[in-house]
Amino acid sequence: MGGDQYIVEGLRGRSQWPPATPCYAYGAKNLRLDQRDAYQAGLDHFAMVPATLAHDDARASALQALLRSGNAYIKLSAPYRLACAGMQGDDAARTWAAAFLRAAPRHVLWGSDWPHTAREPGKAAHDVSAYRTLPEGTLARSLRDWLPTARFRQQVLVENPARLYAF
């Protein structure tokens, strides 16, 4: 990105989902996602979309429209954060990755979410918790599931980040 442009990355918990307006509030500042010339927004961890939310739900449609607008990128990472009763994170991640790739393939990124942090029950946000242990091969399987073609892998792993970060 050139000039005085910024990339703002945010994480919202399930209780704060969805972004009902084109704003994300961070403390006293509201960052307008429709001010594209100033910055791009990065939505980490599948934007913490609820795993059981229907893809044609108005909230999901608004998120996909935001991606299509060019004002935001979504990062495919941490499928375990999407897990909820009745649905495994991997199942939700696979279907949401496909939906985001259909909606805006030029605005999808991937991240490992290393070191795979977690919050242990009863611990506050600032308390140290143990890292998650991922079985060997988990990240490679996720890539194959979420990005089933060489073209998608090239776009999400190489072209999209190169365009966003201007390298």
Show me where the domains of the chain are located.
6-165
How far is Cα 163 from Cα 123, in angstroms, rounded to an integer? 39
Read off φ and ψ for residue 139, nearest 5 degrees: -65, -40
How far is Cα 97 from Cα 77, in angstroms, rounded to an integer? 10
- Is the Cα dihedral 32, 36, 37, 40 positive or negative? positive
- Is the Cα dihedral 123, 121, 50, 155 positive or negative? positive
The single-letter code of the amino acid at 46 is F
pLDDT of residue 99: 94
Give this prediction's pTM.
Answer: 0.77
pLDDT tens profile 20-53: 443 333 332 344 445 545 567 788 888 888 878 8
pLDDT tens profile 77-115: 988 777 665 556 678 889 999 999 999 999 999 999 888
What homologous superfamily is domain 6-165 in, according to CATH? Metal-dependent hydrolases (3.20.20.140)
Tell me how many helices (H) and strands (E) the chain has.
Answer: 5, 6
How far is Cα 123 from Cα 129, in angstroms, rounded to an integer? 7
CA 68 → CA 30, 61, 112, 127, distances in Å?
21, 10, 24, 38
Alpha-helical (H) ranges within 14-137 are 58-69, 89-103
pLDDT of residue 105: 96
